[in-house]
Structure 1
Amino acid sequence: MRSEPPVVRAGLTVLLLVPVAVLAAFVCAGWAPLRAFDRGVAGRLHEVAHDVPALTTVMTWLTDLFQPNVFRVLALLVVIWLARHGARRTATWVAVTMIAGGILGGLLKLLFGRARPEFLDPVASAVGYAFPSGHALNSALAVTIAVLLVPRWWALWLIPVLTALSRVYLGVHWTSDVIAGLLLGVAVPLLTARAFRPARAAEPVSQR
């Protein structure tokens, strides 16, 4: 895994979790400015979704391609590959991170019980609660794991951004939902990496 001073990693984690906590508090309190912002963005993108059907098709394709189960399967394949190559601690880290992140996202959805956007003429639909976005969370989890393992893969960050955008564009999430999902998706791997970091020198994983 990527080597960084514990203080730096802890600082990054705090910087990510603070805005998540603030967003959660605002969502719980029904803060009017946040609701107005979310509804404004959702309404404008909903208009675009109807006016530009070709773009809506692309966004639908992206949201289906980057759904949570895709990243879970990819993570499972990585876990198997790492375990077979003797990097069992790193394999455990990947598995624990994906599972912990998924459980956290599910629990937060139940805790806040936030309703998804509703439109008279929706272009897409989704079940369950809105906050945080599971698509954004799981894509960020997987990409953060990948970048921590192989830093030169930083360009993969485009995937969570596109995933989050597609969810808001299709009207199945509020903007604050996807922002919280992205931030949590980065924070969880940073937190779990601290627990597994001591044995990284013994792992036969590329440090390039």
Structure 2
Amino acid sequence: MTSTSARARKRFDPDRRFGLRMAMVALALPAGALLFGLLAALVETKWSPLLDLDTDVATGLNDWVREHTAWQHVLLFLTNWVWDPNVYRVLIAIMCAWLWWRGARRLVVWAVVTTIVGGLLGALLKEVFTRARPTLPHPVHHSDGWSFPSGHALMGVVGPGVLLLALLPLIPRGWRPVAWVVAIGSAVGVGFTRVALGVHFVTDVVGGWVLGLIVLLATSAVFEWWRHDAGLRRVAAGEEGLEPEIDGADADPEIPRIRPGTDPDSPDGRN
């Protein structure tokens, strides 16, 4: 019985879990970069099977939307007023103002940096690849700028990811899986609307998703490393959020509680 308990404690030891999570992030980042690089290379070299797939899907979905006016209005509303990148930026700005007031200032820095880096990286890569948007016989929507990667799809990952990883401690544990489903559903939904409305190819959307995930993973790993250096306990970000202390109580009853947004290593106790 003693050996079983010892094995269980070893298995769930915070240091071992932290090391495993960091190893997974370290593997996920180059894997994501490789996937994005491969996709970008195929787009840049105009690999015909991929281009044919892109064109067929964009044309087919656009024709379907054109024949269903009601769905056309729904998709336009979603892409312009619900899943628009600026909507996420406004929500993140409001959240950051509240977090700053709460004293979680390093979390604010993480949220702002992640959002800005995602937006700038997407804009920069558009100028690098200069891929034209789909040219369809009967378009139902128009959008300016280059096509690859999709900025809407990128922000569709970064926006919900930033909001959820920051505010997850305030969501009851039983509802957290639902919150993740909503966030993932939003990312998938925004990608579908962009292709169905004929303003992006499938590969544009996939590229945006992958790039957004890379940015989110990278900045979250940096935040987790800061917690480690600051002497704060290791967390399972996907389950607890990046800074569980913002709910006013540490998630682990065996770890001393700290006030929201405080850093025990800083001179004034604020982070």
- Please report the TM-score for the alignment, with normalisation by the length of structure 2: 0.72
The sequence identity of aligned pairs, in percent, is: 37
1:162 to 180, 189, 192: 189
User: Is the contact between residue 137 and residue 182 of structure 1 (CA under 8 Å) also seen in structure 2?
Assistant: yes
Task: Give 1:205's aligned residue.
Answer: 246
Task: Give the unaligned 5+ runs of structure 2.
Answer: 1-17, 170-175, 234-242, 252-271
Q: Deviations over 1:102-122 (max 9, x none)?
A: 000000000000000012321
C-alpha distance in 2 between matches for 1:62 and 1:162:
9
1:25-46 Cα deviation digits (max 9, x unpaired): 0111111111001001011112
Cα deviation for residue 132 of structure 1 reads: 0.5
Query: Who is 1:52 aligned against?
Result: 68
Larger CA deviation: 105-114 vs 140-149: 140-149
Shift of 1:145: 1.9
Q: 1 CA distance for matches of 2:55 and 2:115?
A: 31
More helix by share: 1
After the TM superposition, which parts of structure 1 deviate over 6 Å for at least 4 consecutive aligned residues?
A: none
* Structure 2 CA distance for aligned equivalents of residues 145 and 12 of structure 1: 18
Aligned counterpart, 1:14: 30
Larger Rg: 2
Name the residue aligned to 2:84: 67
8 Å Cα contact 1:144-1:185 kept in structure 2: no
Matches within 5 A, 1:82-93: 82-93=99-110
Structure 1 residue aligned with 2:136: 119
Instruction: Give the aligned residue type for 1:154.
Output: W
CA root-mean-square deviation = 1.8
Please give the alpha-carbon distance, in whole angstroms, between the structure 2 residues aligned to 1:16 and 1:47.
32
Mapping of 1:134-149 within 5 angstroms?
134-149=151-166
> What code does the residue aligned with 2:184 have?
W
How far the C-alpha of 1:148 sits from its partner, in A, is 2.8
Which letter maps to 1:161? V
What is the deviation of 1:177? 0.2
Which of 187, 190, 197 is residue 214 of structure 2 equivalent to?
187
- Give the SS at the match of 1:205: helix
Deviation, structure 1 residue 205: 2.5
Deviation at 1:47, TM superposition (A): 1.3
- The partner residue of 1:26 within 35, 42, 49 is 42
Quick check: 1:89–1:199 contact (8 Å CA) kept in 2?
A: no
Aligned pair count? 206
* Cα deviation, residue 52, structure 1: 1.3
Q: In the alignment, residue 35 of structure 2 is paired with which amino acid?
A: P
Between the aligned partners of 2:31 and 2:95, the Cα distance in structure 1 is 28
Contact 1:139 1:160 in 2 (8 A): yes
- Within 5 Å, which residues of 2 pair with 1:98-117? 98-117=115-134
Structure with higher RCO (Cα < 8 A, 6+ apart): 1
Distance 2:149 2:189 in 1: 16
